Structures are given as C-alpha cells and as structure tokens.
Amino acid sequence: MAEPERIVELLHVVDDVAAEKIRTIKQVTAATRTLALNALVESNRAGEAGRGFAVVANEVKTISTRIAAITHELESELSSNIRELTHLGEAMVTHVRGARLGDLSLNMIEIIDRNLYERSCDVRWWATDSAVVDCLHTPSDGAAHHACARLGVILDSYTVYLDLWVADAKGRVVANGRPGRFPHAMGTDVSNEAWFREAMTTKDGTDFVVSDISINDALDHSQVATYSTAIRDGGETKGRPIGALGIFFDWRPQSTTVVTTVRLTEEERKRSRCLLIDSKGRIIAASDQQGVLHEVFHLETSGATMGNYVDDTGNLVGFALTPGYETYRGLGWYGVIIQEPVS
C-alpha cells in the first residue's frame, strides 16, 4: 500500500482504538459511580459508624464524575481532530493519486504523439520516392506496377501500416502496396475524401495532412489514422501537385498496446479504464475495448491542459492534452484514466 493510503488507514485504526478505549473508560466510570452510590446507601444504613465511609464514597463519586467529564472532552476533541486528519489525509491521497493519473495520461498521449510524428515524416519522405513520382508523371502499367512493388518493399519494413495508396490528380488510386491483400484499393475514387482534397492543397513538400481516426472500408473496415501529402512534379518541394500519397496507420493494435500497458499496479488495473479521446470527446482507444469510435466521454478540464478531478460517481479522473511533438502539433486529443475508488 502506498504511504498516503497507509496514513489514512492508520487514522481509521487510531479512531477505532480511541473509540473502543473511551467506551471502556465510560463503562468503568459508570461501574465506579454505581459502587459509590451503593456505598453511600450502606453508610446511611450504618448511621454514625458509616459516616467515615460516606466521605470516601462521596469522594469516589466526585472523582468518577470528573473522569466522566474528562472522557467526554477527550472523546469530543479526539473525534473532531481525527475527522479533520482523516479528511486531510483522504484529500492528500486524492491529490497524489490524481497527479499520478495525470502524469500517466500525459505519458500515454506523448507515446502516441511521438509515434504519429514519425508517420508525418514518412508520408513526406515517401511522396518524393522516384517510383511514386514516376507512376503519376509518366503513367503506364509498368510504372504503376513498379510503384506497387516499391510501396510493398516499404510496407515490409514498416509493420505499423495497413497500406499505402498513390492517387492521381483526379483522385483515382493507381498504385497500392498490398494489392494482393487489398485488391479493391486499386481504382478506388478518393476524390471526395478529405485526406485527398486537403493533400492536394498543401502549400509545399514540407506540409502534410492528418485526419482523425476513421474506418476504411477498402481496408477490411479497419480503424486507420490517415496521413497524406501531395506528390509533386519531379519530387521537388515546390513542384506542382500531380497527385497524392495516402498512408494508413494500423490504429487499433498500436493504440491498444498504449492504453493496455500503462504503468499501473495489478490492483489498480482492475479498477481503471485508460482512454484516448479526440478533440470532440469521442473515444478512439480504450483499455477495455468498449465504446471505441462511437462512445463520447465528457471530460471536465476546466480549461486545464492537465489535471484530475473526482466525478459525480466518486471515480478519480486524470487527464492530459496532447502537447504535440516536434513539427507534429497533434489534433487536440487527450489521454484519460478513470479510476474507481478503493473498495
């Protein structure tokens, strides 16, 4: 058990011990007063002979009354102080646990950012590949075949991608890296796809487009993060756009690894849910695999980029906004961890 939780546990133990001992003192005091009263009765019966004993009995009664008053004061002060200490301890535990969840949430989103930054580098680099440029500059079956082969070689080295597509200026896919696995990709009209339209309007070869997580039907209905950029005449940075390259990051296995390997103890893992959510609150990855791409999580940030709070159900929520990485600014995604209280 972590130290803050141990402090709170000990406070509860002290409270229980104090309450038990005070009950015992009250019982002893009550018994003493009863004995004193009985002694007074017997001394009165004894008359003159019992007067000395009556003095002792009265003193015992007075002492027991004082002990009862002190016990009451002790009970009141202890109870008040222990309640305050317990409240402070629980607040400290919540703060420590919440700060830790915020840090772990930041770590999740940073891992994603760094991973996706590499994707933004890949798409800009591969768009200048001679085989990719040539299949659009001098289109032919041979050039398309060569581009497919080249994209296949790239995919063999980068296992995080489902496929790479080359689309001509009209938005028709003329080459892809895995024609055997995804035969319907070739010839697909992507002219109305946001990734294609935005790629064709990028300012130069240093620019790229990234889209929120979506389902790509042509890729076996897989969850993808799509990156794209214009393929330019001659592969030059300032060249005229002659088509677009779209690369499809295999989102589900990569993101699942991130949200299921958060550094939680086994006990914490059983009562925690780790999420990645997009800028609209849509869950795009979840450690329990529930609600992905259709559940919306209502995060209460109060304008903070990182923090924690206790929700209406008593769960502790830690969160962190994407900080971006290098030239990748991020898409306003958050890492979130929801943790149920210790039962």
- Supply 145's token pair: 């075949």
CA dihedral over 72, 74, 75, 76, signed as positive or negative: positive
Tell me: do 136 and 237 sit in the same domain: yes
Tell me: do 245 and 160 sit in the same domain: yes
Tell me: do 73 and 178 sit in the same domain: no
Tell me: do 303 and 246 sit in the same domain: no
- What is the pLDDT, as a whole number, of residue 261? 95
Tell me: do 174 and 233 sit in the same domain: yes
Which residues in 249-287 are b (16+ Cβ under 10 Å) and which e? bbbbebbbebbeebebeeebeeebbbbbbbeeebbbbbb
Tell me: do 286 and 192 sit in the same domain: no
In degrees, rounded to 5, the angle at the alpha carbon of residue 119 between the alpha carbons of residues 111 and 279 is 60
Domain that holds residue 41: 3-95
Give Cα separations from 88 to 5, 92, 148 (angstroms).
12, 6, 64
Domain boundary among 207, 224, 254: 254
Residue 224 lies in a domain: yes
- What is the pLDDT, as a whole number, of residue 86? 67
Tell me: do 232 and 266 sit in the same domain: no
Tell me: do 87 and 139 sit in the same domain: no
**CA–CA separation, 318 and 305 (whole Å):** 11
Q: Which of 116, 78, 67 has the alpha carbon at shortest distance from 254?
A: 116
Residue 33 lies in a domain: yes
Tell me: do 37 and 87 sit in the same domain: yes
Residue 116 lies in a domain: no
DSSP 1-41: --HHHHHHHHHHHHHHHHHHHHHHHHHHHHHHHHHHHHHHH
- What is the pLDDT, as a whole number, of residue 4? 58
Residue 83 lies in a domain: yes
Residue 44 lies in a domain: yes
Write the CATH number for 90. 1.10.287.950
Tell me: do 280 and 250 sit in the same domain: no
Domain boundary among 200, 230, 254: 254
Residue 304 lies in a domain: yes
- What is the pLDDT, as a whole number, of residue 296? 97
- What is the pLDDT, as a whole number, of residue 259? 97
Tell me: do 160 and 202 sit in the same domain: yes
**Cβ atoms of residues 162 and 219 within 8 Å:** yes
Residue 102 lies in a domain: no
Coil/strand/helix, residue 247: strand
Q: Which of 331, 328, 239 has the alpha carbon at shortest distance from 282?
A: 331
Residue 298 lies in a domain: yes
- What is the pLDDT, as a whole number, of residue 1? 44
Write the CATH number for 321. 3.30.450
Tell me: do 181 and 221 sit in the same domain: yes
**CA–CA separation, 250 and 147 (whole Å):** 21
How would you write the pLDDT of the chain (343 residues) with one tens digit per residue? 455 566 666 666 666 767 777 777 778 777 776 776 776 776 777 766 666 666 666 776 777 677 777 777 766 777 776 677 667 766 777 778 899 999 999 999 999 999 888 999 999 999 999 999 999 998 899 999 999 999 999 999 998 999 999 999 999 999 999 999 999 899 999 999 999 999 999 999 999 999 889 999 999 999 999 999 999 999 999 999 999 999 999 999 999 999 999 999 999 999 999 999 999 999 999 999 999 999 999 999 999 999 999 999 999 999 999 998 887 788 899 999 999 987 7
**CA–CA separation, 160 and 255 (whole Å):** 11
Q: Indicate the number of domains in the chain.
A: 3
